[in-house]
């Protein structure tokens, strides 16, 4: 290309890169000249700001500044008059308004004319004000920004308007060098970035108004050589900390920046963030001694607002570096971030969470893990998980919270059994330091801002070795364990952690029993129950009560059940049947231990039950044993029960899935705002309910409640007392006994640490998703069958056409339970094995091993007939 040819876009890009790389080496100005140039450019910007304030206004219709056109107090000025008055205001250091964010930008022509109008009049004022000689040339365009922003530390930060101006300048000249330098300078420094995009100090409006270049009044005085102790004080709070970040301003600024091609600035910004992360990693361990750490909070708030943080080089390089650095955040800083992200930053919660999830997923997929390097050893994954915990608590704070007083009831201290009281007090799960700092608990959250399920990371959950993770959890060496960050694991994976804990306890009890037998003390290594089918409740109650009284630790042994008069070894299937029969008997209406809520289909404690506490303790033990032995039960308790098991008292909102009609009636009362509440509802503080025999029982929520009418003033008290009576006080005796039995089994397990109430329901009752496509895809075949065998194709064709009730029967027949395990039907690992040629025999099953024995029937019709008969009459027949 000849020298006369016009430059191409590629040439411009090359020139920008060359200038960016060599700018610091090609600087020829002396230090004095650079300082003079910076002072003149900054002064020019201030005078321009006064000029536009006088002519255009700040754009705020409520402005009170008499020197602003938007206030309505200023008469229209000609450009000459405005220029003269702008110079005068500059000399007087008059108040400057903040630029209204929705103000329309001026056109280039108007800006050019204004520059001409101001240039001749302002130069003399600038010279007089700053002490510069006319020989000091004022820089303009990108060059002035480069000089200003690379030589003076007092302006090494960004504001929204400053970024707009830089982008405008760059687009007009098609040279983005100043933008690249500015981003690199600001985003690589903790101090520079923490002072960027700050909110105004409302307590000192005359001193805290930022202009479009980011200068303050103190900066103007510093231009004149003043070095008083208040220098840069407007960038700080009275106690020495930086002002908080203006997050809406940050978002608008990023929106404008990312309208440009990211290739222009991405490399520079990523490199700056990596440098920033290195600075944080070096400084954070020692910063706690300095006290105020608002600058670190500001830095992280600004960084995590970057829209592209979860893609490209940001995801590959910058985000991992920031996450690693954030491992050193003190609890106080984590709490500040959580509070801000739960307030003004809540709209960014999902985007930040998705970016971190993207990073974790990427690292899980691309990293080659092996026996010497587990997922818990990958620093990027663990540091991102720790950051995610801050978001988790921010998500709770941003949601609907209930009073922490509802979880302050200590059930253990109200029990008569001193052993249980002492045991429960010694085995409380550790309190998370961040939760303690925030004064919040996951049980306080009625509804999170984002669904808790969005915090699950399935690739990580599938990839984590829970045996190794459990070993780290138990280790005293401080190794990382995902069990301490259960929000990121799916319930199915957390169940494996609970399973390892239970199995280790079982094996421990077994070893102790063997040692005792060696020393001459006979002991059973298993929890053996021998029961009669027709007296299953009485037999189970007697045996479990004796065990709980003599040695409660025996409940932590592996359960082995034997039905009297029946042969068979319990490898899991007999135990499943035992639990099923016990549950059917206990919830039989004839026992009257529980009442059924017809509207919701749930069962609840009968407040007028005549059964002894031991019966309810048995139910609690059975529930605990089911969890301990990994058995799913066909129970249908409302969610409030699982909240109560974790230590949260029932409240008004719990009535929604306990008794929807009552809940709606009380809600209607709360929402009624007319003064005639007494006449409309005619309700007193005396309530009535029915016992199992249909008799009406009256109860006063307050002393002489029948004489106290419900009014606008006391209706909330009435509703709270009503809910408390129904869910807590009326069944206190029954629930205490139930809770006692449950805790006898699970008191030492990490159940409360790992699971939330809704997850415990899934753990006990199984999933509600009957996806038989999952079951088909995970099924294995044996004895000559394959997925392509005609009988197998016919089998699945028949199964998919069955009703839900018959599908439940099939599950009951093949696995011993009609419930879907946590994690879905794919977790069952069903095996279909050939059981001989065509015959008239019915299919059989080994429920202990989820094996279906299927003869090779000659036709699809015969297969369907035999299968339906087998699953319909399976109890006590065909199940081995």
Question: What are the tens digits of pLDDT across the range 241-299?
Answer: 467 899 999 999 999 999 999 899 999 999 999 999 999 988 887 766 555 688 899 99
- 646/658 same-domain check: no
Helix orientation angle between 536-550 and 613-628, rounded to the nearest 10 degrees: 80
Tell me if 300 is assigned to some domain. Answer: no
Q: How confident is the model at residue 75 (pLDDT cuts 50, 70, 90)?
A: confident
Domain count of the fold of the chain: 5
Lookup result for tokens 């015969």: 862
The predicted pLDDT at position 272 comes to 94
Instruction: State the Cα–Cα distance between residues 120 and 56, nearest whole angstrom.
Output: 21
Roughly how many angstroms between the first and final C-alpha of the chain, as a whole number?
88
Instruction: State the Cα–Cα distance between residues 828 and 842, nearest whole angstrom.
Output: 22
Tell me if 778 is assigned to some domain. Answer: yes
Tell me if 314 is assigned to some domain. Answer: no
Q: How confident is the model at residue 6 (pLDDT cuts 50, 70, 90)?
A: very low
Please give the DSSP secondary-structure letter assigned to residue 700.
E
- 258/358 same-domain check: no
CB 338 within 8 A of CB 434: yes
C-alpha distance from residue 423 to each of 414, 595, 745 (Å): 13, 31, 11
User: Mean pLDDT, to the nearest integer, of 124-136?
Assistant: 44
Tell me if 233 is assigned to some domain. Answer: yes
- 245/348 same-domain check: no
- 585/722 same-domain check: no
* 170 counts as catalytic: no
| Top-confidence range, 146-160, 424-438, 566-580, 803-817 | 803-817
Tell me if 793 is assigned to some domain. Answer: yes
> Is the pLDDT at 814 greater than 90, yes or no?
no
HSE (CB half, 13 Å, CA atoms) of 758? 13
> Is the pLDDT at 668 greater than 80, yes or no?
yes
Q: How confident is the model at residue 229 (pLDDT cuts 50, 70, 90)?
A: very low
Instruction: State the Cα–Cα distance between residues 709 and 686, nearest whole angstrom.
Output: 9
- 191/223 same-domain check: yes
C-alpha distance from residue 441 to each of 392, 410, 646 (Å): 11, 16, 11
Residue 611: how many other CB atoms lie within 10 Å: 17
Give the distance, in angstroms, between the CA of residue 511 and the centroid of all CA atoms in the same chain: 41
CATH, residue 588: 3.90.1750.10
Q: Which of 727, 755, 790 is the last residue of a domain?
A: 727
Please state the pTM of the whole predicted model: 0.73
Lowest mean pLDDT among 140-149, 556-565, 801-810: 140-149
Nearest to 836 by CA among 787, 777, 791: 791
Could you give phi then psi for residue 688, rounded to 5 degrees? -135, 145
CA angle in degrees (0–180, nearest 5) for 228-233-234: 135
Structural tokens at position 627: 């969890």
Q: The domain containing residue 794 runs over which residues?
A: 772-872
- 468/514 same-domain check: no
- 175/215 same-domain check: yes
For strands 780-782 and 831-834, give the pairing: parallel
Instruction: State the Cα–Cα distance between residues 143 and 182, nearest whole angstrom.
Output: 12
CB 207 within 8 A of CB 161: no
- 535/557 same-domain check: yes
- 376/523 same-domain check: no
User: Mean pLDDT, to the nearest integer, of 334-347?
Assistant: 93
- 757/850 same-domain check: no
Please give the DSSP secondary-structure letter assigned to residue 316.
I
Tell me if 481 is assigned to some domain. Answer: yes
Higher pLDDT, 872 or 162: 162
> Is the pLDDT at 505 greater than 90, yes or no?
no
The predicted pLDDT at position 774 comes to 85
Q: Is 120 helix (H, G, I), strand (E, B) or coil?
A: helix
User: Mean pLDDT, to the nearest integer, of 858-869?
Assistant: 90
Structural tokens at position 482: 């995902």
C-alpha distance from residue 871 to each of 785, 805, 821 (Å): 21, 11, 19
pLDDT in tens, 175-226: 999 999 999 999 999 999 999 998 864 433 333 333 333 344 344 333 333 3
Residue 425: how many other CB atoms lie within 10 Å: 11
C-alpha distance from residue 758 to each of 361, 435, 489, 655, 735 (Å): 25, 20, 14, 16, 19
Strand segments, DSSP code E, in 600-758 are 602-605, 686-690, 696-700
Structural tokens at position 275: 């440098």
The predicted pLDDT at position 359 comes to 95
The predicted pLDDT at position 78 comes to 81
- 27/97 same-domain check: yes
Q: How confident is the model at residue 238 (pLDDT cuts 50, 70, 90)?
A: very low
- 671/815 same-domain check: no
pLDDT in tens, 544-600: 888 888 788 788 888 888 888 776 665 667 787 888 888 888 887 777 788 887 777
Structural tokens at position 612: 């002894």
The predicted pLDDT at position 770 comes to 80
The predicted pLDDT at position 17 comes to 43
User: Mean pLDDT, to the nearest integer, of 611-635?
Assistant: 86
The predicted pLDDT at position 408 comes to 65
Tell me if 144 is assigned to some domain. Answer: yes
Tell me if 495 is assigned to some domain. Answer: no
CATH, residue 792: 3.30.2410.10
User: Mean pLDDT, to the nearest integer, of 644-651?
Assistant: 92
pLDDT in tens, 13-47: 444 344 434 433 444 444 455 455 556 666 777 78
Catalytic residue among 97, 323, 445, 848: 848
Q: Which of 699, 727, 755 is the last residue of a domain?
A: 727
C-alpha distance from residue 759 to each of 200, 640, 646 (Å): 45, 13, 12
CB 279 within 8 A of CB 273: no
> Is the pLDDT at 432 greater than 80, yes or no?
yes
CA angle in degrees (0–180, nearest 5) for 718-722-724: 120
Lookup result for tokens 């369907």: 864
């Amino acid at each position: 290309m000849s020298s006369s040819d016009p430059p191409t876009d590629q040439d411009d890009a090359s020139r920008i890169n060359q200038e960016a790389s060599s700018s610091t080496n090609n600087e020829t100005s002396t230090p004095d000249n650079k300082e003079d140039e910076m002072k003149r450019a900054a002064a020019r910007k201030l005078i321009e700001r006064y000029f536009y304030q006088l002519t255009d206004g700040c754009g705020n219709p409520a402005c009170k500044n008499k020197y602003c056109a938007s206030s309505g107090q200023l008469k229209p000025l000609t450009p000459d008059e405005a220029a003269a008055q702008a110079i005068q205001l500059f000399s007087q250091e008059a108040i400057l308004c903040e630029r209204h964010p929705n103000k329309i930008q001026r056109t280039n022509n108007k800006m050019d004319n204004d520059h001409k109008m101001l240039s001749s009049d302002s130069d003399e004022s600038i010279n007089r004000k700053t002490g510069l000689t006319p020989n000091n040339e004022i820089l303009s365009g990108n060059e002035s920004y480069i000089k200003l922003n690379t030589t003076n530390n007092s302006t090494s930060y960004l504001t929204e308007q400053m970024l707009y101006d830089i982008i405008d300048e760059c687009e007009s000249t098609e040279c983005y060098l100043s933008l690249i330098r500015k981003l690199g300078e600001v985003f690589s420094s903790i101090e520079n970035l923490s002072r960027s995009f700050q909110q105004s100090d409302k307590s000192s409006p005359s001193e805290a108004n930022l202009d479009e270049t980011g200068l303050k009044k103190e900066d103007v005085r510093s231009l004149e050589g003043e070095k008083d102790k208040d220098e840069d004080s407007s960038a700080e709070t009275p106690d020495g900390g930086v002002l908080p970040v203006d997050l809406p301003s940050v978002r608008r600024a990023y929106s404008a920046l990312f309208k440009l091609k990211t290739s222009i600035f991405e490399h520079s910004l990523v490199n700056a963030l990596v440098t920033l992360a290195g600075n944080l990693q070096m400084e954070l361990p020692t910063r706690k001694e300095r006290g105020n750490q608002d600058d670190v909070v500001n830095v992280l708030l600004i960084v995590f607002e970057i829209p592209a943080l979860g893609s490209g080089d940001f995801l590959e390089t910058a985000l991992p570096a920031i996450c690693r650095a954030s491992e050193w955040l003190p609890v106080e800083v984590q709490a500040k971030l959580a509070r801000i992200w739960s307030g003004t930053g809540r709209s960014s919660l999902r985007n930040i969470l998705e970016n971190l999830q993207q990073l974790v997923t990427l690292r899980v997929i691309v990293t080659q893990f092996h026996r010497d390097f587990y997922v818990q050893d990958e620093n990027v994954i663990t540091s991102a998980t720790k950051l995610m915990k801050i978001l988790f608590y921010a998500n709770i704070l941003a949601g609907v919270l209930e009073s922490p007083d509802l979880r302050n009831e200590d059930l253990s201290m109200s029990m008569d059994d001193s052993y249980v009281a002492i045991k429960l007090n010694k085995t409380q799960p550790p309190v998370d330091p961040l939760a303690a700092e925030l004064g919040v608990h996951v049980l306080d959250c009625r509804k999170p801002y984002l669904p808790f399920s969005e915090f699950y990371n399935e690739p990580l959950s599938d990839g984590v070795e829970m045996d190794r993770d459990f070993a780290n959890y138990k280790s005293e060496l401080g190794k990382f364990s995902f069990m301490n960050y259960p929000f990121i694991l799916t319930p199915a994976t957390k169940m494996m952690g609970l399973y390892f804990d239970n199995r280790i306890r079982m094996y421990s009890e077994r070893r102790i029993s063997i040692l005792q037998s060696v020393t001459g003390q006979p002991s059973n290594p298993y929890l053996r129950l021998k029961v009669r089918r027709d007296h299953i409740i009485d037999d189970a109650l007697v045996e479990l009560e004796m065990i709980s009284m003599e040695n409660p630790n025996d409940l932590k042994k592996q359960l082995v059940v034997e039905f009297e008069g029946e042969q068979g070894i319990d490898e899991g299937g007999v135990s499943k049947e035992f639990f099923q029969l016990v549950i059917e008997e206990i919830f039989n209406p004839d026992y009257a231990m529980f009442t059924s809520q017809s509207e919701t289909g749930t069962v609840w404690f009968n407040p007028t039950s005549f059964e002894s506490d031991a019966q309810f303790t048995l139910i609690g033990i059975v529930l605990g044993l089911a969890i301990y032995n990994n058995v799913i039960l066909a129970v249908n308790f409302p969610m409030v029960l699982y909240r109560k098991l974790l230590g949260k008292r029932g409240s008004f909102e719990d009535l929604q899935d306990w008794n929807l009609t009552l809940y709606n009636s009380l809600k209607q009362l709360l929402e009624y705002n007319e003064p005639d509440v007494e006449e409309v509802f005619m309700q007193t503080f005396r309530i009535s309910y029915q016992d199992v025999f249909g008799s009406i029982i009256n109860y006063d929520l307050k002393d002489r409640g029948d004489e106290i009418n419900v009014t606008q003033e006391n209706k909330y008290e009435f509703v709270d007392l009503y809910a408390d009576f129904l869910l807590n006080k009326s069944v206190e005796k029954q629930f205490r006994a139930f809770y006692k039995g449950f805790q006898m089994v699970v008191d030492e397990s990490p159940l409360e640490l790992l699971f939330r109430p809704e997850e415990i329901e899934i753990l006990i009752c199984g999933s509600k998703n009957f996806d038989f496509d999952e079951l088909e895809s995970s099924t294995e075949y044996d004895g000559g069958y394959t997925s392509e065998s005609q009988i197998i194709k016919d089998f699945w064709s028949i199964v998919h056409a069955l009703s839900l009730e018959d599908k439940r029967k099939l599950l009951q027949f093949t696995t011993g339970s009609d419930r879907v395990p946590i994690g879905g039907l794919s977790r069952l690992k069903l095996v279909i094995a050939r059981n001989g040629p065509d015959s008239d025999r019915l299919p059989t099953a080994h429920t202990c091993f989820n094996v279906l024995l299927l003869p090779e029937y000659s036709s699809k019709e015969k297969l369907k007939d035999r299968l339906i008969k087998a699953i319909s009459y399976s109890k006590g027949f065909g199940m081995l």
